[in-house]
Amino acid sequence: MSKLNFVRRCHECGVPLQCEDESMPGFIEAHYLESSEHAALFCRDCYKKQRFNFAPQDPVVSPGFLEMLHDAQASDALIVYVIDLFSFESSFSKEVNSIIEGLPMVVIANKRDLLPKTYSDAKLREYVAHRFRCARLSVKADDVHLVSLTSSVDVSEIAQACNEKRAGHDVYVVGGVGAGKSQLISAFLREYTNPSFNSAIQTANYGSTDIRVLQIPLPGSSYAYETPGIPLSNSIAACLTVEQARALTPQEALKAVAGSLSQGEALYISGLAKIELLKGAKTPISSYFPHGIKFKKGKQVGKKDPFFEIIRRNGFAFISEKATEIGDFDVYDVEVSESDAFRDIGIEGLGWICFYAQQQTFRVYVPHNVAIYTTRAKITPKEKKQ
């Protein structure tokens, strides 16, 4: 007896769908194929072309780095986490956080000088602690130290806080590339006295891994390890040339640029990103981006989007050679449930906008694999220094 089965095909390319071999055309995960009997389906390749993004990209870390952190967890080490206050909200790695969760932690929030001096240090510390807690890392506001690191800055209070909190255990200094770990260690070593006659400061591979660390002897037969920077592969800098990335690195305090968005309008952030108010009432916005960034406000006309037309004409100060057509961008919809609070929408390595939440929906375009985030406001327009 014969049985005739209907063959599902990709809605885009027409290839028969299959869930057995990822290397062959038409692959789709089995649960999509089984649970969507009447829906139009895309094979995985076409889905990526159509939708591009599944979730904001995490930083990529090596197996050796994770192995090192497992040692830290096993020895109940202190984690000194160095962040760049300008852009750290999307720099956490879920793999890293799952390993160091529960360990004692001190957070060095670097580049305080990039944020306006008029804003509250207390609220900034609580904001940073809140972001760490959202990443399932146990951090209180008192664990956060706001600094502007140089090799000559005085870090004696930080060193004392770390020494008390480590309770005789090892210390692992971690953070993203460019966050300021080297400046922190250099400043620490200016006042450092080696407590050991048998161990010297040295750079070597960590254990059996290929991870190079700076190993510093501490009292109690323990060590501090300066680890390599976590690559910010999900940052806008990964899409730019070295010269462009350097030009977009803030060198002075950011100033809010006031503006507004009405439904259907979009903020073009140079040629690197676009934030559109898809649904909701007109809202004022404050934009915090490096001084080299130029803004344009536009509105889609019919099926044509002037943002991509301007990119193709090189009409922006900064564009990425990797992102010149709509197919080169990931697209996210940010649905805001609050109706009485200030919130941010940010782009890793580029900056953020602050707006008043009124249950809007925003659409954000960023180059492939660049992470975005939404959170309560880092800086609110009415905030004063405390």
Eight-class DSSP state of 224 = E
CA–CA separation, 106 vs 184, rounded Å?
13
| pLDDT at position 62 over 70 | yes
Taken in order 47, 50, 56, 60, the sign of the CA dihedral is positive
pLDDT at 385: 42
CA–CA separation, 174 vs 143, rounded Å?
15
Q: Are 252 and 258 in contact (CB under 8 A)?
A: no
Q: Which range has the top average pLDDT, 49-53, 343-347, 367-371?
A: 343-347
Ranges in the chain annotated CATH 3.40.50.300: 63-226
pLDDT band for position 45 (cuts 50, 70, 90): confident
pLDDT at 153: 92
Q: Which range has the top average pLDDT, 131-135, 150-154, 170-174?
A: 170-174
pLDDT at 39: 57
pLDDT band for position 173 (cuts 50, 70, 90): very high
Give the helix ranges, DSSP H, for 135-170.
Answer: 156-166
381 vs 56 pLDDT, higher one: 381
pLDDT at 310: 86
CA–CA separation, 165 vs 145, rounded Å?
14
| pLDDT at position 356 over 90 | yes
Give the helix ranges, DSSP H, for the chain.
Answer: 30-35, 44-51, 63-74, 94-100, 121-134, 156-166, 181-190, 242-247, 306-312
| pLDDT at position 23 over 50 | yes
CA–CA separation, 192 vs 201, rounded Å?
11
pLDDT tens track for 220-240: 889 999 999 998 889 999 999
pLDDT tens track for 318-349: 888 888 888 888 888 999 988 888 999 999 99
How many C-beta neighbours within 10 Å does residue 349 have? 28
pLDDT (mean) for 10-39: 76
Query: What is the greatest pairwise CA distance in the chain?
Result: 86
Any long-range contacts for 2-6 (C-beta under 8 Å, 24+ apart)? Answer: none
180 vs 3 pLDDT, higher one: 180
CA–CA separation, 346 vs 87, rounded Å?
8
pLDDT tens track for 97-110: 999 999 999 999 99
pLDDT band for position 4 (cuts 50, 70, 90): low
pLDDT at 54: 46
| pLDDT at position 52 over 80 | no
How many C-beta neighbours within 10 Å does residue 133 have? 12
| pLDDT at position 58 over 90 | no
Q: 21 — alpha (psi -120 to 50), left (phi > 0) or beta?
A: beta
pLDDT tens track for 82-139: 999 999 988 888 899 999 999 999 999 999 999 988 889 999 999 999 999 988 899 9
pLDDT at 303: 62
Q: Are 293 and 317 in contact (CB under 8 A)?
A: yes
CA–CA separation, 239 vs 348, rounded Å?
12
- Mean pLDDT (the chain) is 88
pLDDT (mean) for 374-381: 88
Give the helix ranges, DSSP H, for 180-300.
Answer: 181-190, 242-247
| pLDDT at position 10 over 70 | yes
pLDDT at 384: 40
pLDDT (mean) for 158-174: 96
> What are residue 144's phi and psi, to 5 degrees?
-100, 125
Structure tokens that stand for 97 in this block: 């956080």
pLDDT at 49: 57
Any idea what the Cα angle at residue 156 is, between residues 153 and 161, rounded to 5°? 130
Taken in order 201, 205, 206, 208, the sign of the CA dihedral is negative
The CATH classification number of 63-226 equals 3.40.50.300
Q: Are 361 and 333 in contact (CB under 8 A)?
A: yes
pLDDT band for position 386 (cuts 50, 70, 90): very low
User: What is the torsion angle, in degrees rounded to the nearest 10, for the CA atoms of residue 377, residue 380, residue 385 and residue 386?
Assistant: -60
Read off the amino acid at residue 202.
Q
pLDDT at 75: 95
pLDDT at 36: 54
CA–CA separation, 3 vs 1, rounded Å?
7
Q: DSSP secondary structure string, 176-212?
A: BTTSSHHHHHHHHHHT-----SS---EEEE-TTSS-E
For the chain, give percent helix, strand, coil, nearest 5. Answer: 25, 30, 50
pLDDT tens track for 271-306: 999 999 999 999 999 999 998 888 889 887 666 778
Tally of CA atoms within 13 A in the half-sphere of 235 that contains its CB = 26
How many C-beta neighbours within 10 Å does residue 119 have? 18
Structure tokens that stand for 73 in this block: 């967890």
CA–CA separation, 238 vs 35, rounded Å?
37
